[in-house]
Structures are given as structure tokens and as C-alpha cells.
Amino acid sequence: MTTKRLAYLAPELPSLSATFVTNEIWTLEAMGEEIHPYSIHKPNHAAHGTKAAALASRTHILYEHNIKSNLGALKWIAFNHKRSMAKATAQLAFDVLKTGLFRKVALKLVYQFLHGAWLARDMRDKNIEHLHIHFAHVPTQIGMYAAALAGIPFTFMAHANDIFERPLLIKEKIKRSHKTVSISNFNIKVMAKHGGNTDKIEIVRCGVESNLNLKERESESTSKPVVIGTLGRLVEKKGIDTLIEAAASLAKSSLDFRVEIAGDGPLMDDLKAKVNAANLSGVVSFLGSMPHTEALEWIKTLDTFVLAGKMDQNGDMDGIPVVLMEAMNFGIPVISTKLSGIPELVIHKQTGRLCPPADAESLAAAIQDLFRSPEQTAWYAEVAKERIVHEFDLEVNAKRLLHIFNKAA
């Protein structure tokens, strides 16, 4: 069934940190869909490559439009589409009163409403019939007003930080949406705690391009150290400090290993100091940030991929990290933590190993066990690849989204 003309809205597009959004757009376009991309901000770290550059060239950046432009769009809608204007204004008034008339957040909602007016005018000009939004916080605050002003249905996808730390008006967002999409059952429970109607929420995974028939990695000499890798922004929730502590414990064992840490971020200096303090500079190396394609090639070289995620002091944590899917898709055995939606991907002792968050000793033990039982580890990797194919495949989940879009009135 052919879908409608679709608009896509995300915080930063195309962004190096949200390649799952761009991959989703490209997959839908490859399936014959017409996508019109919009971004709140211009990406600080744009995705690399000619394909990404082409997407960037046709992506409208909402916050680059000034107040005069936004007010002009709002005036046009008020004159030409009075019913839509009344509906959207009523939503804004309700939200401002609910959040507190004289609070800063209420002023932000008014500001977002004005940007939503420009988006609505542009979507009307392009005859957009459905708006899909990634992330439940600011993008959905802009998008739900824009959809009301444009007189079209919208859907939005909840990921992690957007509902863990910033669940503002989540009940109302779900109620106004055609459908709300969640990457995990864990997220559905979070939204339910904020009053969200779970009957309107459906699971769609952020996926990867799967391949069950991947070429097996060539075996290397057992005399070489095993390579343990992790990749992510160097922030508290990634648990890289826990991995370093686990490495300190492993250094006292008979395991010959090295740890490679890919990524950059505000904790780089602190983490390097931690490595030096533990006398691990000979076995732990920092690779810095790298383009997505280069990161994928690097993951293929690993003996295991570890993501030691945990909740940070602000309550933020990962949802289901796509990088875990990518490692599993390459047949790389994975170790992660019992956190958020991760156990829906990494099923303990079936598709990988799970440890309690912030538990370095358990992590070290899991790494040792992985290399003590190579046959069992190979089985984990095979089952993991099958799970990616059937549940976390990019095209499978794009079709799930299309089914939701096509049912929108």
C-alpha cells in the first residue's frame, strides 16, 4: 500500500549521533516513499558522506527562521485555516496553563508553537499528509502544534532521555498523536507512569541493515591478546569508567587482552587519568571519534563488544543502543547491562551476556567467562544475528512504521 507524502522531524538531521534516523529515511525512500526532512537545529556533528550531504541540502532547519517569518506563517494560517488555528491555539493554552502560566517552560512552549507555525505553513504548501517525529521532547512539542495547524495526523517515537529526563506533557502528546511509537516495552512502562494511554503506543525498533549470511570472521592466532571494544560518547551513562575498573581486575588474571575505546566527549581527560592511575596505559587505548562507516569496520575487528551502560546522576540512561545491534549483526559477541530496554535486545545467556550496571567485578567475570567457553560464545553470536534479522532489521521496522502511517486518518 502506497503511503502519503511524509514529513520527518528530528532534533538534528543528518546527525552523526542519530544515524538511525537517516537510515530510516533512506530505507523508506528506497521503498518508494516521499520524505520531506526537517531539523530543529543544524547538526553540531553532521553525518559524513555524499548521501548524508544530499539529505542535508534538502533539510529545512526550523530554528534558522526568525520570529517575523514565524509570525507571518501564523497569520496566514489564522486567515486561511481558522478551524486548525483554533484547535492548535486551544492546545497551547491548555499546555501553558498546565505547566504554569508564568514559568519559563510556558514561554518555551509559545516559542515552539511559533516555529510550529512555520513548519505547518511549509507542510501545507507541500501537501504533506502525515508528520513523523523522532524524540518525545522539543521535536514533539513543535511537531504536535505544527500538525494541528496543518490539519494532519502525527506520530512520534520515544527513545530514552526524551522521556527519562524530559517527559513534559507526555500524556497530552500521546493523546493527540495518531499513534505513539516506542523502541522498547520498558519505555511504554515509563510513559504509562506519566499517565500515557498505552493502547495508543506501538513497538517499532530502531534497526540496522541485517544480514544473516555474514562471512565468518577469520580465526586469529590464540597467542594474540583478545580485543575488547566499546564505542560511544564519553559521558557518564556509557559506563566507560566501569569498563576501565573491570580492565584493572582483568589485569590481575591470566587473560591476555587489550581494550579499545572509540568516541569522544567531556569525560575524555578524566577517563585517561583513570587509566593512568590504574597503570593500564599499556592495554587501554582511546581511538577518538570516527565516521560511522569507519566505526563499523572497526567493530568487525573486535573479539567482544562491551557497553557497560548505567543511569547517570540526572536519571539519564541509554534506550537500546544501535551500536549493540551493529556488533551483534556482525557476529561479534556482546556484553552489556540490565538497564532500560537493553534486555529486550541482549537476552542474557542467549544473545549475549548481561551484568548489573556499575558493577566492575561482574563485568570482568562476564568477559572472562566469554573467553573460557568459545563454543558457547559462538552460539550466542549466531542466535544474536538471528534476533537482529527477525526483530531489529531496518526494513522490517520501516514496514511496521508504514503500516502505522497508512492507518492514519
Q: Where are the domains of the chain?
A: 5-207+393-406, 226-391
pLDDT at 45: 83
- CATH fold for the domain made of 5-207+393-406: Rossmann fold (3.40.50)
User: What span, in angstroms and rounded, lies between the C-alpha atoms of 273 and 90?
Assistant: 54
Query: In the sheet that 130-134 helps form, which strands lie side by side, from edge to edge?
Result: 60-61, 34-41, 5-12, 130-134, 154-158, 179-182, 201-203
User: What span, in angstroms and rounded, lies between the C-alpha atoms of 115 and 112?
Assistant: 5
pLDDT at 213: 56
Contact by Cβ (8 Å): 263, 341 = no
pLDDT at 27: 95
Query: Residue 206 has what DSSP assignment?
Result: -
Q: Across-strand partners of 325?
A: none
User: Does the fold of domain 226-391 match that of domain 5-207+393-406?
Assistant: yes
> CA nearest 156: which of 386, 371, 401?
401
Backbone phi and psi for residue 100, each to the nearest 5 degrees, phi listed first: 115, 115
pLDDT at 121: 98
Question: Sign of dihedral through CA atoms 333, 334, 335, 338?
Answer: negative
Residues in the chain with pLDDT values less than 50: 1, 215, 219-221
Grid cell digits, residue 194: 506519566
234-267 exposure pattern, b = at least 16 Cβ within 10 A, e = fewer: bebbbbbbbbbbbbbbbbeeebebbbbbbbbeeb
How many C-beta neighbours within 10 Å does residue 93 have?
A: 11
Give, in order, the Cα–Cα distances in Å from 5 to each of 39, 123, 187, 357.
17, 10, 28, 43
Give, in order, the Cα–Cα distances in Å from 257 to each of 57, 72, 249, 355, 364.
44, 62, 12, 20, 12
Helix/strand/coil for 38: strand
pLDDT at 221: 44
Helix/strand/coil for 129: coil
275-301 confidence digits (pLDDT tens) = 999 999 999 999 999 888 899 999 999
Contact by Cβ (8 Å): 250, 364 = yes
Angle at 345 between CA 32 and CA 366, to 5 degrees: 145
Grid cell digits, residue 97: 496553563
> Maximum CA pair distance of the chain?
76
- CATH fold for the domain made of 226-391: Rossmann fold (3.40.50)
pLDDT at 63: 97
